[in-house]
Every structure is written in C-alpha cells, then in structure tokens.
Structure 1
Amino acid sequence: MKIASICLLSLLSFAGFSQSGLGIKAGVNMTNISTDAGSLKNNISESLDTKTGYAFGIYGRIGDKFHLQPELLVATKGGKVSVSPMNGGSPELIDVKYTNLDIPVMIGFKPLGFLRVMAGPVASVKLSEDKKLKEALAEYTTNTGEAFANSTWGYQAGIGITVLGFDLDLRREGSLTDINVLNFQNEDKFSQRAAGWQLTLAKKIL
C-alpha cells in the first residue's frame, strides 16, 4: 500500500503543473481467466465465459499531444474455471472473483484533437478474493493460504475519444505474470493469467 500512497501524492501534485490535470473515472471490466494446467488439463481448464466487474478511481495527466497518465483504480475481475473431482465425476464451473488496486501508467498520443491512443504497464495489488477457486481445487493442492497472488504485473493498451468534456476509453488488458500462487501435488506446471477489456468514462476535475 506504500506504492499506492506514493502514486496518490504524485497524482495530486500533477494539478500544479501546466498542461496537466486530475480527474475521476469509472466503468466496467469484462475479463476471463486462462489456465495452463499441465498434466491436470483434463481436470482443470478455463472457460471462455467472461465475468463483468467494475472499475473506479482517479487519474492524472501531464502533457497534451504526448502525455503521461498514471491512475489509481479499484477493479473487480475474475472468470470461470472448470474443475472435475479428482476421483471422477461431472466438472463444475467455478465463478471466480477478486478485487485489485490497479496502478496503470499510460503513455498517450493524440493523432487528432479528440482521439487518443495509449499503452503502458499496470502494477496490481490484491485487495480481496473470494474463496471459490481455492475451495474447488482443495483436493489438488497443498496450499493453506489464498489462491491469488498479492501483487502482479500486467498491461493495458487502447484508444479513447473526448466528447462534451468527457473521456471515453476502451482498453485491452492482460497479465504479464501469473495471478495464481497455488501449489499442486506432483505438478510443476500450473499457471493462470487474466485478460479482458475495460470501458471507462472519465472527467477532469482539476
């Protein structure tokens, strides 16, 4: 949380520079979870179904045609994972949800006055998770802790338009590191990544 505090102070300081501003934004995430389960792929697999969550927070922007835009966003994400009992039986589709504090640092460019393109890394700090995935995989794992990593890295890239003083952004986002920290019995290869789309509406306030 120290990183988040530093970023918040940095965002607030942006309002004191020329060609800069501070704003608020909110929107929706549509994500899914991909799984590489190694020898367990017949028992544990991803679903193509997406999960809809929310995102809200603040952003700072410095520059105009070329600009730097750090953000602090609370975002709920998740997906669906198919899990079969170890001793056989019908698979169960597990609806997974977790909440992050996302810290994107976007580099943007305006090819036109109303159009923006942007991309950059995202640092994520987990705020909470439901226990559904951990409980569903309990017979496969040796973990006693939580299923999702406390911190991960990802990326966002997309486009935005400005209409009537509001910024509408559509971004593709994904994981650069595993989001799962579960240890599996007799299985070295297990990884999970999240990917999806984020649609937000933002308004400059300072």
Structure 2
Amino acid sequence: MKHLILACFLLAFAVPVFGQDEPHLRIGAKVGINFYQLSSDDLVMDDDTGLSSEYSVYGRIGETFFVQPELNFVNHKTHLITRNQTTPNERDALLVRYLRVPVYLGYQTGYDGPIISRVRFMAGPSYSFALSVADNNIDIERKDIHNSQFALNGGLAFEVWVLHLDLLYHHYITSLLNDGRSEGKGRAFSVAAGINF
C-alpha cells in the first residue's frame, strides 16, 4: 500500500512536465560524497558526522520545468556510541548501504554565464531500501535498520563546462533504527559531479 501511495504521489509531480509539447530527455551519471548525521535519539549517546560516497544514474525530462528520476547507490556513515552496545563507550563507524530512488521536480533558469550555466532548483521525495550494514563494534546489524526509509530532498545544480554539479540536502522522515524507542533520523548533505550522455 505504501508503494502504491508513493507511486501516485510521484506521478502527480510528473504530469505537468509530460504535458509539455516536446519534452526533452537527458540521461546522465554522477558520483559524489555525502556528509551524514543522525538527529537526536535516546538510544544514541554520541554521534559524529560521517563522510561517504554515492553513485547515480538519472534521466531528466523537460527543459525549463523538468522531472528528474534517479537511481542512487548510497553509503551513509556516522560514528556512534549507543546505550545498548556490548562494550560501553566504544565509538565505531556505522556504515549503511542503500538503494535510493528520488524523483525531483525542478526549474531551470536561462542563465548562461562564461563558466556557470543552466542553474537548476529542484526538490522531491525519495524512497531508500537498506541493502547492508558493514561490520561494526556497536552491535548494529542489518536487522536493526529500517528496511524502507523515506526522505525529502532539495537543492540546486548547475553546469560548469562539460560537468554538472549537484548540491543537495536530504531530510529523512523515517527513523534509522527499527527499535521502537529510536527516533534518530538521517540528515545528509551531498555534493556530486556528473556528465550527460
């Protein structure tokens, strides 16, 4: 049922763009880094921002107004001390690998400067599925992570010569840990560079 509601929501975003007379399609790939941290959580004594990587392919449909669905392989890392780990006060990295599917609705300006051009503003929801959890010393395994996580994403992008750069913020609305007492939700800022094919 959740997947059906999400599909209807994303379709509602896409209808205005597909209504254009001649929609343009661009396909591309990008690679980037992200900075990830958890919001306040009663099960987490302390956490630090972690740096990790992400890889994406996408299609952009439209010009001035566009829809951009993506397929992202994302690593999110944070360094934690939890209240229920076997070794008290030992900090370790929690690295979770995701398959994320965002769909952005965006607006592209007509700006065409000597270095920067095609400035885009975009926002939209995403669905992430947790693929795996790297070994750690804080007793968090794959079964302790929510399978499905939803987020709201937004930011800006622009082209620099042949490359395009994306600067995005990801605000998760599903808690990371599936323990009923957990309230910590992911917050990430990503920077990615890519090319169009």
TM-score between both structures, scaled by the size of structure 1:
0.74
Match of 1:157 in 2: 154
Letter in 1 for 2:177: N
Greater mean alpha carbon deviation, residues 117-126 or residues 27-36: 27-36
Match of 2:123 among 119, 136, 139: 119
Amino acid at match of 1:120: G
Report the equivalent of 1:129: 133
Native 8 Å contact 1:131 1:146 kept in 2: no
Quickly say closer, same or farther: Cα 1:156–1:128, change in 2 above 3 A: same
1:8 is matched with: none
Aligned length: 173
Q: Does 1:147 align with 2:144?
A: yes
Q: What 5-or-longer segments of structure 1 have no aligned partner?
A: 4-13, 137-143, 184-188
2:139 aligned counterpart, secondary structure: helix
Structure-to-structure mapping, 1:24-173, within 5 angstroms: 24-37=29-42, 44-47=44-47, 49-84=48-83, 91-113=89-111, 114-132=118-136, 135=139, 146-173=143-170
Is contact 2:23–2:63 with CA below 8 Å preserved after alignment?
no
CA distance in 1, matches of 2:109, 2:137: 44
Q: Residue 92 and residue 176 in structure 1: after superposition, are their counterparts in 2 closer, same or farther (change >3 A)?
A: same
Structure 2: segments with no counterpart, 5+ residues: 4-17, 112-117
Structure 1 moving runs of 4+ over 4 Å: 84-87
State the TM-score, normalized to the length of structure 2.
Answer: 0.77
Deviations 1:4-55 (A, max 9, x none): xxxxxxxxxx9xx741111111111111122421xx6xxx3242x2111111
Aligned with 1:190 (options 167, 177, 182)? 182
The answer to whether the 8 Å contact 1:33/1:194 transfers is yes
Within 1, Cα distance between the matches of 2:67 and 2:54? 20
Contact 2:130 2:147 survives alignment (8 Å): yes
Q: Name the amino acid aligned to 1:68.
A: V
2:179 matches 1:175: no
Shift of 1:86: 8.0
Separation in 2 of the partners of 1:112 and 1:45? 48
Report the aligned-residue RMSD: 2.7
SS in 2 for 1:156: strand
